[in-house]
Amino acid sequence: MHIVDRRLNPGSKSLENRQRFLRRAKALVQGAVKKSSQDRDIKDVLEGGEVSIPLDGMHEPRLRREGGTRDMVLPGNKKFVEGDMLPRSSQGGGGKPTDPGEGDGEDAFRFVLSRDEFVNLFLDDLELPDLAKRRLTEAESEGLHRAGYSVSGSPANISISRTVSRALARRVALRRPRPETIAQLEAELAECDDRERRAELIAEIEALKAKAKRIPFIDPIDIRYRRFEPVPKPMAQAVMFCLMDVSGSMSEHMKDLAKRFYMLLYVFLKRRYRHVEIVFIRHTDRAEEVDEQTFFYGPASGGTLVSSALQAMTEIVRARFRPSDWNIYAAQASDGDNLTSDSELTGRILTQSILPICQFFAYLEVGEAGGYSFEMPNSSLWTLYERLRADGAPLSMRKVSDRSEIFPVFHELFQRRAKQEKVAP
Amino acid sequence: MTASKGLLFQEADWDFHILQRIHDACDEIGCGELGLDVYPNQIEVITAEQMLDAYSSVGMPLFYKHWSFGKHFAFHEASYRKGLMGLAYEIVINSSPCISYLMEENTATMQALVIAHAAFGHNHFFKNNYLFKQWTDADGILDYLEFAKRYVAQCEERHGSLAVEHTLDAAHALMSHGIDRYPGKKNIDLRAEEKRAGLRRMHEEAAFNDLWRTVPTGPAKSSATLSVERRRKLLGLPQENILYFLEKSAPRLAPWQRELLRIVRHIAQYFYPQSQTKVMNEGTATYVHYRIMNRLHQQERITDGNFLEFLRSHTNVVFQPEFDDQRYSGFNPYALGFAMMQDIERIVASPDEEDREWFPDIAGRNDVMGVLRDIWANYRDESFISQFLSPRLMRHFRMFHLHDDPEERAGIRVDAIHNERGYRRVRRELSRQYDVGFIDANIEVVDVDLAGDRRLMLRHSVVNGAQLNEADAKRVLQHLADLWSYDVSLVEEDATGKVLKDYVLSPRLVPAAA
């Protein structure tokens, strides 16, 4: 008999098969990812996780029979006698149809995607160009962290104290004779006259010396090196403000567009920063900070005062996010309706307190489904922002009315940015 | 017998030394006392993840790459994570040496159970059952799989993974019809197969001379001169092994495609006996582990606590839910198989009147293991049940037979139950459920229209009105047409020759194969 330990063999032999499967099911999985990212929270986009895909497209057909007369033998008869007729519909009747695994129950199955797989498919769907990806990876800088000790390394990294203490422990454990002991014996030998005793001492000294030689003072196995591990250096933290007008004129479609934009922004920031906070501010004629659920799904209605949201944002920044410690991003989504009387105030808050502290401020004007963004008439907010921009305020603004436009718009907005600078108009 | 050699292990933990001791103890009992005859054992310890891997490549340690295995992996993994499915404790491979995988998570008791079950029970069955002897080549399978894996990878390199995938997809779809059901051709020798494949390829490469392609082949013989009968004979028609037929006769397949079909066919054939002997195979293994574990306990080589742990898993394995139970999904091969083995033991050792009447050959023969070994060697599920399912067991399981005729408005008829009048009918019907010849659709290649458009003609002989699932049939036939490169037709006929359904499919444009 033979026992083989295969546990150390690389597992996931199926990895390649899995990748092949994913490649083949790409369209399906992508659809599922799209769908699932719709009803998940922004932060969960990066979590990966389960998606369910229809098995139909991945079905492996076989020639199999169905229908016709069937005979079956079942266990567990309690009351039937020969000749009984069992109505088909009733529960206790013929038991379950006996075609287990014949495809009927298999119309969809849940599929667990890893984080990376998920994000890749998510971004892939949006066709994140390589250009942007490269820039993102460059932004990540690496630092070295101490990470304990290792048995191999470069001589420069030898940890002397650790090595010596290990050597000491080894010497003690193996009872290496101490030099003092030998010295003492030698001294005794020098003074000793008795021949027998001398021979004894000499033998003992020889033995000790030989032993000392066998057990070196420092053995290669004692040597320890300081180990360093590259760690992504935390690039500081970022906060992302999601501002949204939720007055009655914002339709589900518009919110969906906004949500997608926020998601992208989040994924983008998440790859750049270690720690990203999200603040959701919704406003009608007054603004409030809410959680994500309420933000996207809570009903609200009333007039529209954009300035209220901006005001709320400056207050939150003042209270919780010191601009010197935080990189602040804001994205505002709105259908563009605002009270004319509010323009003045809005413009002032923006230029005076918000834009100076923001890394990036994007305004996204969302339109109804089926419309064309370039056909959207300039709204009051758009006109206002346009004017500010003309005056040199670092604002990015785009109109979007279809899901497919989100990524190009996003890309455009970010493409313009020079490295760490503020957004150029 | 040297009874007490001390406990094999005490706690749940195990190490390789303990595994060795367990194996030796099982060996002593299995081969020594029960007279089992096994291939040499190789025990491999793997992790749960590796077990999932092994699952998805039909339990094989190495297999070629294909997306469908990834699909199965994803499927198993998802249901495993959700806790819908436990992992099997073991997988065992019909090879020599016989490889059993044990999961590292198992307790020592479970390892003992698994070793007794797989390394002795299944192992003995693989080595001795006539179907396995006839159809599988335990010595060659691992090498052959290695070859298959390498060959598929090479093909992907040479011809592109897409083309290989198309061919394999098609071959998989036809896999269940790539089996020789009746012996007589020759025993399979996978090693020689592999060697031949290599030689073929070398010959092709060595003998390739572009000039020969330009040599005119002369006027073809008019096909009318070949009589229909002769033509069919040349093509080996009718042929139920569709993959074999394609491999030999499909006009436009590239040599490597034929080789792929051959590989899929060999693997299908290798698994063919397993599908016919589920009840017996599991019954044997369960019976053997039950005997061995009991004996170990008797010899005081495992503690009472461990024995209880064993009994608990054993009981779970042989649990048979009743038809109206949520958990019911057909007969549990472990339950039925084990119950029958025990029943046979009883009949042989201490029969009652009924047994003597039903089983005059074995009742009271007293040589339990002799009888069982003989049965294990010479039957398959269908014949095993039709011979050895006793009235007592039918009563025990409270079996009843339902006849479902869609024409019958009133419902499903209870045709027979576990009583004097019903025993034989119930037994016959149950054994039919295990008859592969009856389960699989009977489809044959009947002719090729060589004079006309080279249409490949197939016939499905419909039994009891069960026709093919239409959507699936179309897909499979599409694959078939792609391989054949000309139209393919399939007619479904009932016993009287009446055509019930007629499919015709044309090949899709070949995506840069050939």
pLDDT digits (tens, 9 = 90+) for A63-81: 888 878 888 899 988 888 8
What percent of chain B is predicted at pLDDT more than 90?
31
**Per residue, what are the HEC states of B416-477?**
EECCCCCHHHHHHHHHHHCCHHHHCCCEEEEEECCCCCCCEEEEEECCCCCEECHHHHHHHH
> Do B401 and A24 make contact, defined as CB atoms within 8 angstroms?
no
Query: How high is the mean pLDDT of chain A?
Result: 75
Q: Evaluate if residue A133 carries a pLDDT over 70.
A: no
Measured CA to CA, the distance from residue B152 to residue B64 in angstroms comes to 6
**pLDDT at position B279, please?**
92
A-chain residues within 8 Å CB-CB of B432? Answer: 71
Beta carbons of B453 and A39 less than 8 angstroms apart: no
**Lowest mean pLDDT, pick from B74-83, B167-176, B344-353:** B74-83
Relative to beta strand A275-283, strand A237-245 is parallel
Instruction: Closest CB to B426: pick one of A73, A87, A91.
Output: A73
Residue of A nearest to B81 (CA): A112
Dump pLDDT digits (tens) for B476-487.
999 999 888 889
More confident residue, B54 or B354: B354
User: Looking at the partner chain, which of B65, B414, B443 has a beta carbon nearest the beta carbon of A17?
Assistant: B65
A111 to chain B, minimum CA–CA distance in Å? 6
Determine the distance in angstroms separating the CA of B416 from the nearest CA of chain A, rounded to an integer: 5
In this complex, the residue of B50, B414, B429 whose CB is nearest that of residue A11 is B50
Considering A85-89, B237-241, B358-362, the range whose residues carry the highest mean pLDDT is B358-362
Q: Is A375 on the interface with B (CB under 8 A)?
A: no
Kindly tell me the sign of the dihedral angle through the C-alpha atoms of A113, A116, A119, A122: negative
Buried residues in A319-346 as b, exposed as e (16+ CB within 10 A): eebeeeebbbbbbbbbbbbbeeebbebb
Q: Give the model's pLDDT for residue B85.
A: 58
pLDDT-based confidence at residue A132 (cuts at 50, 70, 90): very low
Question: Which among A9, A21, A81 has CB closest to B70?
Answer: A21
* B289-317 confidence digits (pLDDT tens): 999 999 999 998 999 999 999 999 899 88
Q: Which residues of A touch B19 (CB under 8 A)?
A: 3
Q: Within the 155-194 window of chain B, which residues sit less than 8 Å (CB to CB) from chain A?
A: 165, 169, 172-177
List of chain B residues whose C-beta atoms are within 8 Å of the C-beta of residue A109: 74-75, 78
Q: Give the N- to C-terminal CA distance of chain A in Å, as an integer.
A: 76
Find out whether B161 and B169 touch, Cβ atoms under 8 Å: no
Give, in degrees to the nearest 5, the angle at Cα B45 between B44 and B49.
Answer: 120
Q: How many angstroms separate the CA of residue B359 from the nearest CA in chain A?
A: 22
How far does the CA of residue A89 sit from the closest CA of chain B (Å)? 9
Work out the mean pLDDT of chain B and round it to a whole number. 84
Residue A145 β-bridge partners:
A229
Confidence band of B376 (pLDDT split at 50, 70, 90): very high
CB–CB of B399 and A13 under 8 A?
no
Distance separating alpha carbons of residues B375 and B335, to the nearest angstrom: 18
Average pLDDT over residues A172-200: 87
In the predicted model, what is the mean pLDDT of residues A344-363? Answer: 83
Q: Which residue has the higher pLDDT, A54 or B90?
A: B90
Q: Which residue of A has its CA nearest to B71?
A: A21
Determine the residue type at A227: R
Distances in Å between the Cα of B501 and the Cα atoms of B296, B437, B466, B471, B493 are: 60, 22, 12, 13, 7
- Provide the chain B residues 287-346 that lie in CB contact (below 8 A) with chain A: 320-325, 328-331
User: Cα separation of A368 and B270, whole Å?
Assistant: 61
The closest CB to that of B53, out of A12, A22, A62, belongs to A12
pTM of the model: 0.68
Structure tokens at B323: 């038809």
Ranking B178-192, B359-373, B400-414 by mean pLDDT, the lowest is B178-192
Max mean pLDDT range (A19-28, B244-253, B446-455): B244-253
- Tell me the pLDDT band of A361, cut-offs 50, 70 and 90: confident
Confidence of residue B345 (pLDDT cuts 50, 70, 90): very high
Per-residue pLDDT reduced to its tens digit, B234-279:
777 788 889 998 888 888 888 899 999 999 998 888 888 888 899 9
Give how far Cα A129 sits from Cα of A35, A133, B102, Å.
22, 7, 47
Mutate to test the interface with A, among B414, B440, B488 (most CBs of A within 10 A): B414
Instruction: Test B429 with A71 for CB contact under 8 angstroms.
Output: yes
User: Could you give the angle at the alpha carbon of A87 between the alpha carbons of A82 and A88, nearest 5°?
Assistant: 115
Flag if A69 and B464 touch (Cβ within 8 Å). yes
Residue B389 contacts A, CB cutoff 8 Å: no
pLDDT score of A16 more than 90:
no
Which of the residue ranges A320-334, B120-134, B412-426, B491-505 would you say has the lowest mean pLDDT?
A320-334
* Two tokens, residue B402: 């339902």
Nearest to B102 by CA among B7, B14, B9: B14
Reported as a single tens digit per residue, the pLDDT across B87-114 is 566 788 888 889 888 888 888 898 999 9
d(CA A375, CA A254) in angstroms, rounded, equals 16
State the complex-level ipTM. Answer: 0.78
- Residue B268: strand, helix, or coil: helix
- State how far the Cα of A235 lies from the Cα of A215, in Å rounded to an integer: 50
Chain B residues with CB-CB distance to A110 below 8 A? 78, 82
Instruction: Determine contact, residues A74/B414, Cβ cutoff 8 Å.
Output: no
CA distance B316 to B2: 32
Q: Does A139 touch chain B (CB under 8 A)?
A: no
Please say whether the dihedral angle defined by the alpha carbons of residues A259, A260, A264 and A267, taken in this order, is positive or negative.
positive
Q: Is A94 in the B-facing interface, judged by CB distances under 8 Å?
A: yes
Collect all residues of chain A within an 8 Å Cβ-Cβ radius of residue B469.
Answer: 64-66, 103
- Torsion sign, CA atoms A82, A85, A89, A92: negative
- Cβ-based contacts of A24 with chain B (< 8 Å): 67
Confidence of residue B490 (pLDDT cuts 50, 70, 90): very high
- Distance of alpha carbon B424 from alpha carbon B432, whole angstroms: 12
Asked if A79 is an interface residue toward chain B (Cβ–Cβ < 8 A), one would say no
Say whether A81 and B414 touch across the interface (CB within 8 A).
Answer: yes
A171: its two tokens: 């010497």
pLDDT of residue A41: 63
